[in-house]
C-alpha cells in the first residue's frame, strides 16, 4: 500500500516552480540531517507580495512534494501572509504525510520563512541576494528509496520489490524521475523520452 496520498505523489512527480530565479530578492536554505534533505527557496518580491518563487530541493519524495506545495501556497501572497504558512498547513494541503516523513515536511515552511527573512534583511542592508550554489547532500545510498512505499530499492533494476512499482530514472543524476516530463525534478536536466 502506498504511504503517500495522490496529492503528494502528484507534487513529487510533477513538482511546481522548480529551478532558479535569475535575480532573487531573498534566498532561504534549510537542511535536515536526519534524511539528508536540503531545501532552497528563492523569492522575488513586488509590492510586498511574493511575485515569483522557485525552489531547489535535494531529498526524498516527501521533501520535494512539500517544496512544491509550499511554492504554490506562497505565490501571490503578501509577505506577512506567507509568514503565517505553517508546516502543519502544508502537510494538511497535501492530504497528510506518513509519520516517518513529517521531519521532511517540517522543512518547507521554514525554508520559505528563511527566504522572506533574508529579503527583509537585505532591504535594510541593500545587499543583493545571489542565486545559491547547489548543495548536493551525500545520503549514503539512501536516494534510491521507493517514492511509493519508502522501501529501499535496487538501483540496477529500478523495481521496488516491496510494492512492485517500477521506475524511470534521470539519465543525468540517476534519481527517480517521471520521464514523460520535460525536466528532471532533481537536477533540472531535460529528460523527456520521445516515442
Ligand atoms: Zn526526507
Ligand atoms: Zn515500493
Ligand atoms: Zn536528474
Q: Rounded distance, CA 114 to CA 27, Å? A: 7
Q: If you measure from the C-alpha of residue 36 to the centroid of ligand 1, how many angstroms do you get, rounded to a whole number? A: 7
| Grid coordinates belonging to 56 | 531547489
Written as one string, the DSSP assignment of 108-168 is HHHHHHHHHHHHHHHHHH-PPP-PPPP-PPP-TTTT-B-TTT--B-BTTTTB-TTT--B--
Q: Which residue has the higher pLDDT, 142 or 77?
A: 77
| Grid coordinates belonging to 179 | 520521464
Closest ligand relative to 9 C-alpha: 2
Q: Which residue has the higher pLDDT, 17 or 58?
A: 17
pLDDT at 171 over 50: yes
Q: Rounded distance, CA 55 to CA 15, Å? A: 10
**Contact yes or no for 132/40 (Cβ under 8 A):** yes
Nearest-CA neighbor of 174 among 144, 195, 136, 140? 144
Tell me whether residue 116 is exposed, middle or buried, using C-beta atoms within 10 angstroms of its C-beta: 0 to 12, 13 to 18, 19 or more: buried
pLDDT of residue 142: 47
Q: If you measure from the C-alpha of residue 122 to the centroid of ligand 3, how many angstroms do you get, rounded to a whole number? A: 32
Written as one string, the DSSP assignment of 2-35 is -SS-HHHHHHHHS-SSBS--SS-SEEEEEEETTT
What's the average model confidence in pLDDT over 2-29?
88
Residues, CB within 5 angstroms of ligand 1 (ion): 35, 37, 59-60, 63, 104
| Grid coordinates belonging to 155 | 538501483
**pLDDT grade, residue 34 (50/70/90)?**
low
Closest ligand relative to 104 C-alpha: 1
Q: If you measure from the C-alpha of residue 71 to the centroid of ligand 2, how many angstroms do you get, rounded to a whole number? A: 27
Q: If you measure from the C-alpha of residue 184 to the centroid of ligand 1, how many angstroms do you get, rounded to a whole number? A: 18
DSSP SS3 for 186? coil
Closest ligand relative to 171 C-alpha: 3
Q: If you measure from the C-alpha of residue 169 to the centroid of ligand 3, how many angstroms do you get, rounded to a whole number? A: 8
Active site residues: 35, 104
| Grid coordinates belonging to 177 | 524521475
Percent of the chain with pLDDT over 90: 37
pTM value is 0.73
**pLDDT grade, residue 178 (50/70/90)?**
confident
pLDDT of residue 137: 46
pLDDT of residue 141: 45
pLDDT digits (tens, 9 = 90+) for 89-130: 999 999 988 777 777 778 899 999 999 999 999 999 999 888
pLDDT of residue 35: 61
pLDDT at 22 over 50: yes
**pLDDT grade, residue 57 (50/70/90)?**
confident
pLDDT of residue 140: 42
| Grid coordinates belonging to 37 | 534533505
pLDDT of residue 177: 75
In terms of average pLDDT, the best of 51-65, 79-93, 153-167 is 79-93
Amino acid at each position: 500500500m502506498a504511504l503517500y496520498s495522490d496529492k503528494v505523489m502528484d507534487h513529487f512527480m510533477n513538482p511546481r516552480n522548480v529551478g532558479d530565479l535569475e535575480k532573487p530578492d531573498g534566498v532561504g536554505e534549510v537542511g535536515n540531517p536526519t534524511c539528508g534533505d536540503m531545501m532552497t527557496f528563492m523569492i522575488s518580491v513586488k509590492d510586498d507580495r511574493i511575485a515569483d518563487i522557485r525552489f531547489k530541493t535535494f531529498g526524498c519524495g516527501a521533501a520535494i512534494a512539500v517544496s512544491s506545495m509550499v511554492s504554490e501556497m506562497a505565490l501571490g501572497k503578501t509577505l506577512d501572509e506567507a509568514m503565517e504558512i505553517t508546516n502543519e498547513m502544508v502537510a494538511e494541503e497535501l492530504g497528510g504525510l506518513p509519520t516517518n516523513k513529517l521531519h521532511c515536511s517540517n522543512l518547507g515552511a521554514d525554508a520559505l520563512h528563511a527566504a522572506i527573512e533574508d529579503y527583509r534583511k537585505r532591504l535594510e542592508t541593500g545587499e543583493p541576494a545571489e542565486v545559491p550554489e547547489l548543495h548536493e547532500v551525500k545520503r549514503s545510498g539512501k536516494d534510491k528509496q521507493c517514492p511509493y512505499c519508502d522501501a529501499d530499492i535496487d538501483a540496477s533494476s529500478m523495481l521496488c520489490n516491496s510494492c512492485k512499482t517500477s521506475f524511470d530514472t534521470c539519465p543525468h543524476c540517476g534519481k527517480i524521475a517521471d520521464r514523460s516530463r520535460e525536466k528532471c525534478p532533481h537536477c533540472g536536466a531535460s529528460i523527456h523520452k520521445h516515442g
